[in-house]
Amino acid sequence: MFHFHTQLIVCFLPSLLALFLFLILLRRNRNALHLDLPPGTMGWPFLGETIAYLRPYSATTIGAFMESHIKRYGKVYKSNLFGEPTVVSADAGLNRYILQNEGRLFECSYPRSIGGILGKWSMLVTVGDMHRDMRMISLNFLSQSRLKNHLLKEVENQTLLVLRSWKDSSTFLAQDEAKKFTFNLMAKHIMSLDPWKLETEMLKKEYVTFMKGVISPPLNLPGTPYRRALKSRSTILKFIERKMEERKLKMEAEGGDFEDDDLLGWALKHSNLSTEQILDLILSLLFAGHETSSVAIALAIFFLSGSPAAVQQLTEEHLEISRSNKRLGKTELDWDDYKKMEFTQSVINETLRLGNVVRFLHRKALKDVRYRGYFIPRGWKVLPVISAAHLDPLVFDQPHHFNPWRWQQMNGSSLGNMSTTITNNFMPFGGGPRLCTGSELAKLEMAIFIHHLVLKYQWELVGSDQAFAYPFVDFPKGLPIRIRHRTLV
Ligand code: HEM
Ligand SMILES: *[C@@H]1O[C@H](CO)[C@@H](O)[C@H](O)[C@H]1NC(C)=O
Ligand SMILES: *[C@@H]1O[C@H](CO)[C@@H](O)[C@H](O)[C@H]1NC(C)=O
Ligand SMILES: *[C@@H]1O[C@H](CO)[C@@H](O)[C@H](O)[C@H]1NC(C)=O
Ligand SMILES: *[C@@H]1O[C@H](CO)[C@@H](O)[C@H](O)[C@H]1NC(C)=O
Ligand SMILES: *[C@@H]1O[C@H](CO)[C@@H](O)[C@H](O)[C@H]1NC(C)=O
């Protein structure tokens, strides 16, 4: 018996050993695959490092979390965020690579809660053909020719409506005024709502509740902001749906050649999206177009209040435009005037660079990806931190300094490689197939608002307030300012 056993073992020993070796080698190999995962720590189970990642910080910095992680691990590191293994990238080259390979190697992937509140057909959530169709509609709506022939006037109208309501020597919250402006503009552009009507005011109120839910933890429990926001979402959707029904009746009454200049009319006429899809599209455009550009305007007001030289140069630029229009008897701004606002464009770029309205994007890897020695496994979340390069001293000299003049060095002079620096590192509107479709409108809004602001008013901050990244950018006190009328023109 005993002998037999020994024999058996001796017999099988070589194959057992071989199996063992094989298993070890296999493990080795897997480890070798994972050896070049970016460095980093996965933190606590499930929560990972999410809480530290989301801790608010000054919007003109990359925050303590990012700083300490980059110092320890480099610009690309692994972590566990929003409940998933994640690669965080503060590397502009990798970020561009990620955004440009949308749909091939990477795909837009926002947390489930975003889809819950913005809707499963929201443009931020859809991918593939559905995304392409919706993007076409929004591109159509924000085309250069519409900006020139239609939106510019509308932007100026809405700007004047807000600025003229300011009383001399009064103090108010600049952020609220900027929100009023961008909301009225989007409501008009999307559904032809007039700013003075009661329904617009009511929609605005619902929208505020809705927004609070978008940015709060997704806890669907009684009394939470998220639950209230879901309720607001359905109220808003009912409102939009009512508008849609009215519009359909009107379209039928007026026959096939009904011309409507808003997104609702266009989507009804030229697309075969379902009602549910149009509702989500409209809600997501209202969201994308209103929150971001109002923060950008508040940031410009904030940065300019600390740079009298920039305000001075802006005033000269806009006074020149205004005087020349007066000579010609022109009462409204047009596209030629907009093209003359050169220094203003530098101020806008500098505001977006330093303020970073959108700080990082949500993607996931569709395949195992290798990039410059880093390995990103399929299925992992990937967060391109587009703000990192904007605040990197190796890319922008003295990055925490508001210096619009830095943008003037790029105009073909031999001063340096500013122009490649910009195309390679400056990405306030994202990039690739999901590049913001509203970027030109956003700049137009900022420029026209700044035009009338510097010509009509002087302003100063009241008390101290500054922008924080929550990570959505916000002034906790609403940016209180005191204004004084100017009589320049
Ligand atoms: C300063 C203001 C703005 C900033 C900083 C900004 C930034 C961005 C960024 C970074 C993205 C990419 C999101 C991603 O790739 O996951 C984006 C997408 C988008 N933005 Fe903007 N945006 C601004 C204003 C606007 C405006 C005024 C509109 C107009 C309605 C708009 C409409 C959109 C839409 C529809 C998308 C989705 C595009 C797509 O998925 O194909 N944005 N925006
Ligand atoms: C702008 O407002 C004026 C009245 O304040 C109005 O006559 C004009 O039609 C408006 N323009 C646009 C493009 O809505
Ligand atoms: C409308 O739907 C049909 C079939 O679902 C599709 O073939 C067509 O391309 C769609 N048209 C547009 C404009 O999206
Ligand atoms: C602002 O940045 C854009 C890139 O987003 C660039 O094309 C443009 O030339 C810049 N404008 C100025 C005045 O530097
Ligand atoms: C380049 O920028 C300088 C200001 O730094 C300006 O004086 C000059 O006109 C600009 N040149 C062009 C071609 O835009
Ligand atoms: C411009 O870029 C080239 C290569 O990208 C580099 O060799 C050169 O030193 C740069 N010039 C300046 C002034 O930064």
Q: Which of 145, 469, 118, 470 is nearest to 285 (CA)?
A: 118
- Cβ 386 under 6 angstroms from ligand 4: no
What is residue 167's DSSP assignment? P
User: Which ligand 3 atom is the nearest neighbour of the CA of 273?
Assistant: 14
Q: Is the pLDDT of residue 1 over 50?
A: no
What is residue 137's DSSP assignment? H
Q: Is the pLDDT of residue 453 over 90?
A: yes
Q: Is the pLDDT of residue 156 over 80?
A: yes
Mutate-to-test residue for ligand 6 from 417, 420, 421, 424, highest number of ligand atoms within 8 A of CB: 417
Q: Is the pLDDT of residue 187 over 50?
A: yes
- Cβ 447 under 6 angstroms from ligand 4: no
Ligand 5 centroid distance, CA of 412 (Å): 9
Q: Phi-psi region for residue 341, left (φ > 0), alpha (ψ -120 to 50) or beta? A: beta
Report helix angle 275-305 to 439-456, nearest 10.
Answer: 40
Give the position of tokens 């057992």. 16
- Cβ 125 under 6 angstroms from ligand 1: no
- Rounded-to-integer distance, Cα 448 and Cα 429, Å: 19
For residue 73, give both structure tokens: 């691990």
Find the helix or strand (DSSP H, E) in which 483 lies.
Answer: strand 480-485
Find the helix or strand (DSSP H, E) in which 356 lies.
Answer: none
Averaged pLDDT for residues 232-252: 90
- Rounded-to-integer distance, Cα 394 and Cα 388, Å: 11
**pLDDT at 433 (0 to 100):** 95
Give the position of tokens 């009107």. 250
- Cβ 384 under 6 angstroms from ligand 1: no
Cβ contact 385:413 at 8 Å: no
Find the helix or strand (DSSP H, E) in which 424 lies.
Answer: helix 418-425
Ligand 5 centroid distance, CA of 432 (Å): 30
**pLDDT at 257 (0 to 100):** 57
Pocket of ligand 5 (CB under 6 A): 408, 411-412
User: Which ligand 3 atom is the nearest neighbour of the CA of 270?
Assistant: 13
Q: Is the pLDDT of residue 64 over 90?
A: yes
Please provide the average confidence, as pLDDT, over all residues in the chain: 89
**pLDDT at 45 (0 to 100):** 80
- Rounded-to-integer distance, Cα 59 and Cα 102, Å: 27
Averaged pLDDT for residues 172-201: 92
- Is the peptide bond between 471 and the residue preceding it cis, with omega within 30 degrees of 0? yes
- Rounded-to-integer distance, Cα 313 and Cα 176, Å: 26
Mutate-to-test residue for ligand 5 from 340, 342, 349, 411, highest number of ligand atoms within 8 A of CB: 411
**pLDDT at 224 (0 to 100):** 85
- Cβ 346 under 6 angstroms from ligand 4: yes
**pLDDT tens digits, 198-219:** 899 889 888 888 888 877 777 8
Residue nearest to atom 13 of ligand 6 (CA): 416
User: Which ligand 2 atom is the nearest neighbour of the CA of 154?
Assistant: 13
Averaged pLDDT for residues 109-113: 85
Confidence of residue 318 (pLDDT cuts 50, 70, 90): very high
Ligand 5 centroid distance, CA of 342 (Å): 10
**pLDDT at 424 (0 to 100):** 87
Residue nearest to atom 23 of ligand 1 (CA): 292
Beta strands in 18-140 (DSSP E): 57-58, 76-81, 84-89, 106-108
**pLDDT at 16 (0 to 100):** 56
**pLDDT at 416 (0 to 100):** 60
- Rounded-to-integer distance, Cα 422 and Cα 402, Å: 16
**pLDDT tens digits, 84-101:** 999 999 999 999 999 999
**pLDDT tens digits, 358-406:** 999 999 999 999 998 899 999 999 999 999 999 999 999 899 999 999 9
Cβ contact 106:98 at 8 Å: yes
Where helices occur in 101-192 by DSSP H, the ranges are 112-118, 128-141, 144-146, 152-163, 174-191
**pLDDT tens digits, 2-58:** 454 555 455 555 565 565 655 555 554 444 456 689 999 898 887 889 889 889 999
Ligand 3 centroid distance, CA of 272 (Å): 6
Q: Specify the range with the lowest mean pLDDT, choosing from 15-19, 283-287, 460-464.
A: 15-19
- Cβ 178 under 6 angstroms from ligand 1: no
**pLDDT at 412 (0 to 100):** 54
What is residue 91's DSSP assignment? -
Task: Give the SS3 label for residue 435.
Answer: coil
- Rounded-to-integer distance, Cα 473 and Cα 479, Å: 12
The model's pTM: 0.88
**Burial, 471: exposed, middle or buried (Cβ in 10 Å; 0-12, 13-18, 19+)?**
buried
Start-to-end C-alpha separation, the chain = 112
Cβ contact 361:39 at 8 Å: no
